[in-house]
Structure 1
């Protein structure tokens, strides 16, 4: 789990991805977390996974809360709004809200739907 070593912050960012049995699959997800911290050293960032790898969403959220987060933005690192993001994740967020009523949880759109990500993927597809 990646959580910066800075003093506790009231805001946490939870990068949420699917998960895989292949340990190398996590590398890009954790690279995003490191990049967030490099851009904002005060950021409290953790990675969480839906299945097949730890930590899961409740565990990662608990770590952010233990480090002082009072609001947590969950960012789904998915290309689209499939069933996991559309149905499973909102249920998990509601469970977090019930378990931690003093914490403000917000859910960002799937990153793959952002115009910047779509443009980047198109540029990458056009590279020689």
Structure 2
């Protein structure tokens, strides 16, 4: 089985505190699955970018990289920009396997968690 890593991929923001929830998700994953390599990467404003993160992992011998977009839904970046970037990485590293997962917010478990949270906030 190829050596695999997971990249939590988020949009990024000028305020570095914006990334704190993604850091918390990464920490929770590392605690629950210490054998899984988990990294964070960003589309803009915060480093590392997706390309730099993926190439660093490839340099460490990871052969399969799963990119999990930490987005609520699949918008323009995930429909256009990210597939182009992954195509570039695939061309530059043909032996590696790059997988793009669905946006995290589209997973039914996340939809239900957001609904439960909304009910809690609303007092229900």
Match of 1:99 among 92, 95, 109: 92
The alignment of Structure 1 onto Structure 2 pairs a total of residues equal to 120
How far off its partner does 1:102 sit? 1.2
User: 4+ residue runs of structure 1 moved beyond 4 angstroms?
Assistant: none
The whole-number CA distance in structure 1 between the counterparts of 2:66 and 2:57 is 11
Query: Greater Rg, structure 1 or structure 2?
Result: 2
Any gaps of 5 or more consecutive residues in structure 2? none
Any gaps of 5 or more consecutive residues in structure 1? 1-8
How far off its partner does 1:29 sit? 0.8
How far off its partner does 1:93 sit? 0.8
User: Partner of 1:89 in structure 2?
Assistant: 82
Pairwise CA RMSD of aligned residues?
Answer: 1.1
How far off its partner does 1:67 sit? 2.4
User: Partner of 1:6 in structure 2?
Assistant: none
Match of 1:18 among 2, 11, 14: 11
